[in-house]
């Protein structure tokens, strides 16, 4: 084992070793010792990827396009501050966002004129991405019940010109009863233990981590996914995502949903065209999950991406 794991909680490293294939363990452990580069996407409500690329390059910024997402770029020769000092940033022509964070909206594929819910939306990276995908048409409800984070969400929505967004400060757990069978598509990017964002040189990024924290988050996530499925229209699509590795918060939550809604939901293949992924696992610490959870995708960290989990869930058309 590389010295790069030193400083990480030993129990976290042990759990990772059980989750990951042996051929990938060392590379992923090493990834916690380096920061990913600054990445961003064009805001299609205000610009175009080619126009933005030319404008930034004319200012001396070296950027490269992400192969699997034409609207996304990696900044190669400058700092995040340099990017924030551009007119394009201040006028909302771009949004600084991790590449992994861009994946859930791409899997959800919200369409213009649909009714869409971003259940835990702050600070608005995925909300504004979806607003652009919807061409600012239809109804996109962005919800977050944390007051401080809500106002960050509001500011980002306004800066990006996402005019079809309806802001809401409500408990996500209550949508199912408050608004049953209301939305064509729901994004649940759930609060989690954030293991994909651990950074060895910043102990605060993992100082809170304990197995008990993982269990607490899984409890909350199960309430949220129950609500998300109830508020989804028959035939509608839900994307569940986290920025963590823990099976309790990923496959375990999917297994809970499959048991809670037998014959009412199906996990579909996410169909991600990215190289650094592995299928879900069907067994963890003696618990056997429904085999369908293997259709979930664990995004593995590499030079440009952080750890993430994404699952695509279809609600049946039945009564």
29, 56, 157, 243: which one is catalytic?
243
Contacts of 251 (CB under 8 A, 6+ apart): 280, 281, 282, 284, 289, 293, 296
Which DSSP string do the residues of the chain spell out, in sequence order?
--GGGTTS-HHHHHHHHHHS-HHHHHHHHHHTTSPPPPEEEE-TTT--HHHHHHHHHTTT--EEEETTEEEEEEE-SS-HHHHHTSHHHHTTSEEE--HHHHHHHHHH---TT-EEEETT-TT-HHHHHHHHHTTT-SEEEEE---HHHHHHHHHHHHHTT-TTEEEE---GGGHHHHSTT-EEEEEEE-----GGG--TT-GGGTTT--HHHHHHHHHHHHHHHHHHHHHEEEEEEEEEEES---GGGTHHHHHHHHHHSTTTEEEEP-----SSEEE--SEETTEEPPGGGGGSEEEPP-SS---EEEEEEEE-S--
Q: Is 192 a catalytic residue?
A: no
Question: CA 20 → CA 29, 126, 272, distances in Å?
Answer: 10, 27, 19
The CA distance from 162 to 302, in Å, is 31
Kindly report the number of other CB atoms within 10 A of residue 239's CB atom. 24
Distance between CA atoms of 151 and 153, rounded to whole angstroms?
A: 5
The catalytic residue positions are 243
């Amino acid at each position: 084992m590389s010295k790069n794991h030193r400083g990480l909680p030993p129990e976290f490293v042990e759990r990772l070793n059980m989750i990951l294939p042996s051929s990938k363990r060392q590379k992923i452990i090493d990834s916690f010792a380096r920061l990913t580069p600054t990445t961003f996407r064009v805001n299609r409500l205000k610009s175009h990827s080619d126009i933005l690329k030319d404008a930034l390059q004319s200012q001396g910024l070296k950027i490269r396009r992400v192969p699997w997402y034409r609207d996304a770029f990696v900044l190669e020769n400058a700092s995040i501050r340099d990017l924030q000092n551009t007119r394009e940033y201040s006028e909302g022509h771009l949004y600084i966002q991790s590449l992994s964070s861009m994946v859930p909206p791409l899997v959800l594929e919200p369409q213009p004129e649909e009714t869409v819910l971003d259940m835990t939306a702050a600070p608005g990276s995925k909300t504004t991405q979806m607003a652009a995908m919807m061409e600012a048409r239809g109804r996109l409800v962005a919800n977050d019940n944390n007051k401080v984070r809500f106002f960050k969400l509001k500011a980002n929505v306004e800066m990006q010109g996402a005019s079809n967004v309806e802001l809401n400060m409500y408990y996500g757990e209550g949508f199912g009863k408050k608004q049953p069978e209301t939305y064509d598509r729901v994004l649940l990017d759930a609060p989690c233990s954030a293991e994909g964002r651990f950074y060895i040189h910043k102990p605060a990024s993992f100082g809170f981590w304990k197995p008990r924290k993982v269990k607490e988050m899984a409890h909350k996530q199960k309430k949220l996914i129950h609500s998300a499925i109830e508020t989804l229209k028959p035939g509608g699509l839900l994307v569940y995502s986290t920025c963590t590795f823990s099976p309790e918060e990923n496959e375990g939550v999917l297994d809970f949903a499959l048991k809670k809604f037998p014959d009412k939901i199906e996990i579909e293949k996410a169909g991600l065209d990215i190289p650094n992924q592995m299928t879900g696992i069907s067994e963890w610490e003696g618990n056997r999950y429904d085999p369908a959870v293997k259709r979930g995708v664990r995004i593995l960290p590499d030079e440009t991406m952080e750890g993430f989990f994404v699952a695509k869930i279809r609600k049946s058309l039945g009564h």
